[in-house]
Structure 1
Amino acid sequence: MPAPTPPGLGTQLVTDTHGPDAEVLVSPGYLAGPGPSLAIFNTLGNAAGWTRTVAFGTDTYFTSPCQRVRVANPVESYYGGWTISYAEDPLGIPDWITTFDRNTPSEIVAAFTETLVHGLHNNFADYLSGGKHYTGTSPASLIARHHWEPVHGSRPFRSVSPDGHAAYQMRAGWLHEYDELISPEKSTWRMSAGPDPVYTPAWQAFFSRYTPQHLIAASASAFTDPTPVLRTPDQIPDRHRSLTTVTLPEPGLAPRASAALARSAHAPAVAIPPYPAAPATLARHTGSRRQR
C-alpha cells in the first residue's frame, strides 16, 4: 500500500506529479470537500415513481409518489445543497426538515437519501424495531464508537472528533417545533466540520426534531466513517489541505480504493433495479400532527 503523502504538501505534490484531475484518496472524509453529487442524483432519479423537475435551469426538485417527501437542490439559495422535507399531510406543514448545505460531503447526503428512498415504501417499517434492517444504532452510539469526545458543560451539547475538526451537536431545552422548521440553525441536531467546526464550520447539516433517527444514523455513519473518499486534488478545500491525508490509489484500484469508490459520489452511474414505489397509502400510517 502506498505511503500517505505529507499533510499539506500532499495535494500539491499529487497535482504537480499527476495533474489536477488525478483521483486521490482523502481522509478524513468530512474534510474532503463536497465532491460530485452523482450518487445522490442517481438514487433519487432511479427511485420508482419519483418525479423530477428542473426550475430556473439550475434548481432540481424530486417528489415521492406518495407526495409526502420533497427533495430540493436549489443551487443559488442561501444554503444551497440539499433540503429534504416530510409531511404526513402533503398539503400541510412538514413534520420534519433536513438541510445539508452546499459544502457538505456528498457521501453524507447520499447515505441519507438512499436510506430514505429505500424505506419510504412501507413508512420505514423495515428500519423500526423488529424490521429486517433495524440495528438499534443511534447517531450518538456511532459517535461514541469512533471515540469522539463529549464536551462537558457545552450548550448545546456536542461531541468533537479526535482531530478536533468535526462536531455533532444536540440542542437541549424547549424550542417551538416550528422555529426549527423555519430556521435550520435552530435544528435539534447538527453535524459540522472544518478547521473550527463549532463557530466557523466549513459545512453544516441540520436535522429537525422529528427527523427519523435511522436517517440521521445513516448520515452519522458516513460522517464518522474513517474510510478515505475519492476526490481530485482541486476538489479539496484550500483550508483543509493541511488537515487531510492524501493517498494515491494503487494501480488497478486496490481494495481500499474500491471501498472509497463504493461510498463516494464519484462512483459512475450504473443500471440498478428501481426502489419500490411508495404507495399512496403507507403502511402504519398515522394522522399528521398538523392535519388540515
Structure 2
Amino acid sequence: MPSPDSLALDPISDVLVSPGYLAGPGDSRSIFNTLDSAPSWTKAIAFGADTYYTSPCQRVRVANAVESFYGGWTISYAEDPLGVPDWITTFDRNTPHEIVAVFTKTLVDGLHDNFADYLSGGRHYTGISPASLTARHRWEPVHGSRPFRTVSPDGHAAYQMRVGWLHEYDELLTPEKSTWRMSAGTDPVYAPSWQAFFSGYTPQHLIAASTAAFTDPTPVPRALDHIPDRHRSLVSVTPVDTTRPDRWAAAALARSTQAQAIHAPPPLAAPTPLAMHAGSRRQR
C-alpha cells in the first residue's frame, strides 16, 4: 500500500518504488548508454524514432522500434549472421528498464568470446538459474498450471515456462509462444501490464540476469507520476531526499547487487579450456 505521505507529494517528485516490477518502465537511458558505448557496435536510426544496433560480429541485432506492436526492445542472435535467428528475446514497451538493462549489459559483456566465460568452467559461471532466484524470494509454484508458472508472494508477478513440444520456429515468429515469459500487473497471467518473452535457445545466464532484476525486492527510483495509475494501490512509495544524490546511487547499487552476484567470478583456480557456446542449436 502507498504510504500516506506519498499521497501529498508533488506528482514529479522523485520516489523509491517497491516492488520494482510494478514501478513502470522508467528511464531507458541506461540501455541506450550500454549499446552506444559498446566497442565497434553500429547504430542506425530509422523512421525518425526507431533505433537499431548490430554487434561487430554481425550475430546480434537489437531493435528499439517504438511504434511496433510490442514497442520496447527485441534482441536476436544468429550464429549465421544471414540465417534464421537461434533465439529472440522481446521486452515490451512497459517492461521496467532495469530488467532490460541487465540483460543487455550481460549480453554485450559476454559476446566477445561467445559467452564462454558464463558457461560451465568459465570465470563468470555461477550455476544460478532463474528457478533458484524465484525460490530464493519465496515465489510459489502454481501446481497443475499449464504453462508451468511461479508467482510472486503478492500475486502480481509471474514467471512461466511453456511445457510440451512446439516447433522452434513458431516461438521465433510469435513471442507469445516463447518458452519463458515474465509478466506483472494486477493480473499478471491473463491481463499483464507488461511482458517479456525468451525463446528456447536464449542463453540461461542472460535469462537469469533479467530474473535477478525481476525478483529483486530492492525499491527502484521513479518520478511519482511515472508509476502506472493501476499500480498505485499495489506499491510502496518512499520519498527521495533530492538534496542527497547519493541516496539514488545507493538505491541503484543495492538494486543491482543480486544481478551482479550471478556474474561474480569464483575464486581463482587452474585455467580451464575455453568452453564452447551451448546456446546455439547449430553445431559447426
TM-score (norm 1): 0.86
Residues 286 and 141 of structure 1: CA distance in aligned 2, closer, same or farther (over 3 Å):
closer
Residue 243 of structure 1 corresponds to: 234
> Which of 53, 63, 66 does residue 72 from structure 1 map onto?
63
Shift of 1:248: 1.2
Residue 62 of structure 1 corresponds to: 53
> Which of 104, 123, 135 does residue 95 from structure 2 map onto?
104
Pairs aligned (count): 266
CA contact (8 A) 1:10 1:245 kept: no
Residue 53 of structure 1 corresponds to: 44
Equivalents in 2 of 1:79, 1:41: separation in Å?
18
Shift of 1:12: 3.4
1:162 aligns with 2:157: no
1:207 aligns with 2:202: no
1:21 aligns with 2:9: no
Residue 2 of structure 2 corresponds to: 7
Shift of 1:132: 1.3
Give RMSD over aligned pairs: 2.3
Shift of 1:249: 2.2
1:183 aligns with 2:174: yes
Equivalents in 2 of 1:7, 1:37: separation in Å?
25
Residues 258 and 285 of structure 1: CA distance in aligned 2, closer, same or farther (over 3 Å):
closer
String of CA shifts for 1:47-96, please: whole Å, max 9, x gaps.
Answer: 00100000000000000000000000000000000000000000000000
CA contact (8 A) 1:50 1:62 kept: yes
TM-score (norm 2): 0.88
1:38 aligns with 2:29: yes
Equivalents in 2 of 1:259, 1:131: separation in Å?
30
CA contact (8 A) 2:53 2:63 kept: yes
Residues 75 and 242 of structure 1: CA distance in aligned 2, closer, same or farther (over 3 Å):
same
Structure 1 counterpart of 2:59, one-letter code = R
> Which of 51, 66, 72 does residue 81 from structure 1 map onto?
72
Structure 2 counterpart of 1:47, one-letter code = A
Residues 285 and 167 of structure 1: CA distance in aligned 2, closer, same or farther (over 3 Å):
closer
Higher relative contact order by CA 8 Å / sep ≥ 6: 1 or 2?
A: 1
SS at match of 2:195: strand
CA contact (8 A) 1:230 1:264 kept: no
Equivalents in 1 of 2:185, 2:14: separation in Å?
22
Structure 2 counterpart of 1:225, one-letter code = D
Identity %: 74
Shift of 1:213: 0.1
Shift of 1:258: 2.5
CA contact (8 A) 2:52 2:63 kept: yes
Residue 173 of structure 1 corresponds to: 164
Equivalents in 1 of 2:139, 2:76: separation in Å?
29
SS at match of 1:79: coil
1:252 aligns with 2:244: yes
Equivalents in 1 of 2:195, 2:279: separation in Å?
32
> Which of 123, 133, 144 does residue 132 from structure 1 map onto?
123
Residue 186 of structure 2 corresponds to: 195
Residue 107 of structure 2 corresponds to: 116
| Contiguous gaps of at least 5 residues in structure 2 | 257-273
Residues 86 and 159 of structure 1: CA distance in aligned 2, closer, same or farther (over 3 Å):
same
Residues 194 and 53 of structure 1: CA distance in aligned 2, closer, same or farther (over 3 Å):
same
